[in-house]
Amino acid sequence: MTVDLNVIIDTLWVVIASVLVFSMQAGFALVESGFTRSKNAANIMMKNFMDYSIGALVFFVFGFSLMFNGSNFGLFGTPDLFVSGDYSGLGLIIPLLAFVFFQTVFCSTSVTIVSGAVAERMKFSTYLVFSAIMTAIIYPISGHWVWGGGWLAQLGFHDFAGSSVVHALGGFAALAGVKLLGARQGKFNPDGSSNTIHGHGLILAAMGVFVLWIGWFGFNAGSTLTASDPEAIAHVMMTTNLAPAAAAVTTLVISWIKDKPSVGAAMNGALAGLVGVTAGCDLVSPLGAIIIGIVSGVVMMVGSDLLERKFKLDDAVGAIPVHGFCGVVGTILTGLLATTDGLLYGGGVSFFGIQVLGALVIATWGFVSSFIIFIALKRIMGLRVTKEEERQGLDLSEHGESAYAEFLVGNEEE
């Protein structure tokens, strides 16, 4: 059988991009473990490892069909087990399973956002069940609205690689979890003031951000699904690079003005810029990407302060402002800065309004659906470990092992 050379090249491009996106799982694990305490490092690693493993199975068995198998009133696809149905309607040039793999790593990225926000106090078993439900139902349904031919796609909503579909959804799901879990012990004082709970490895966190930044080139540029349009790939690569650079500089300057140049602020700033530009990386100019990066950096810093100081919510790694808030803002800014239909480029208010609607609807869906699931799991399984287990650390209390041998040695000596 003769295979068209373009099909071969496009398939290789999508598979390589998928592997880059898969590497982001390692990046999240490093960022989250670095920004949290050493007594919970193995637990963080295990959550990131297992939410991908479970997610890959569940998404293949059920979630993919709910996202891409036709459309029922623009709301969800037709359930189909093991991707066994007819998906010719997708009009794919590449093999179906290559596309399934690409979508699988995207799905797992959304789920793992939650693990960092709820770190250091959530039960491992409960997290795994939530992860499976989000992979099977929550993510595929809203993903169908945008990428599966659903109602938002029909309106003309644009989210090229997932500022809302992946990141805002995961960020607002995390918000629901944090709201119901409550803060970590020692985070807030009786008078309402907060204490900084320092992470144990800024080097780990920084390396994680580098891994995520590299993986994001596959995340965004791979969403072209073809290697035959080099101009589009080059454009997306450039906008994907400029936005995090601008956001990192912005957050560094803000933290420096407030006190001293913060490593954590710069790292999360870069991630905020990456999240923000993901929706419109194909439509905004390089200058537009820089603007999105700057705005995303400011939103991340302000959002972090509001969550902690005003709302008394404890997001262990800053996942909610980075992914939730900046996912929404980046999607909306696409409606302003897209060089095709953006409001600032004479496109009128229609496209901008659709971007606002889509971003808010997906964020709301992520929060409300996750809140309901978390409440159900709280009643059935419980959400939070005991105070003593939290004090001891989830590595020992949940897994009976530790990322660092000295904890085991100390425990044996006791």
Tens of pLDDT, residues 315-346: 999 999 999 999 999 999 999 999 999 999 99
pLDDT digits (tens, 9 = 90+) for 113-151: 999 999 999 999 999 999 999 999 999 999 999 999 999
Q: Would you call 310 helix, strand, or coil by DSSP? A: helix
For residue 113, which amino acid is it?
A: I
362 and 139 in contact (C-beta within 8 Å)? no
124 Cβ contact partners less than 8 Å away, ≥ 6 residues apart: 43, 46, 47, 394, 398, 399
Q: What is the mean pLDDT of each run of 10 residues along the chain (414 residues)?
A: 86 98 97 97 97 97 98 97 95 97 97 97 98 98 98 98 98 98 97 95 97 98 96 98 98 96 97 98 98 98 97 97 98 98 95 98 98 98 97 96 77 44
397 closest CA partner among 29, 113, 120? 120
The helix (H) or strand (E) run that includes residue 359 is helix 349-380
Structure tokens, 234: 């080059």
The b/e string for 5-43 (b: 16+ C-beta within 10 A; e otherwise) is eeeeebbebbbebbebbbebbbbbbbbbbbbbbbbbbbb
Q: Are 314 and 184 in contact (CB under 8 A)?
A: yes
Q: Which residues contact 213 (CB under 8 A, 6 or more apart)?
A: 244, 270, 274
CA–CA separation, 340 vs 352, rounded Å?
A: 12
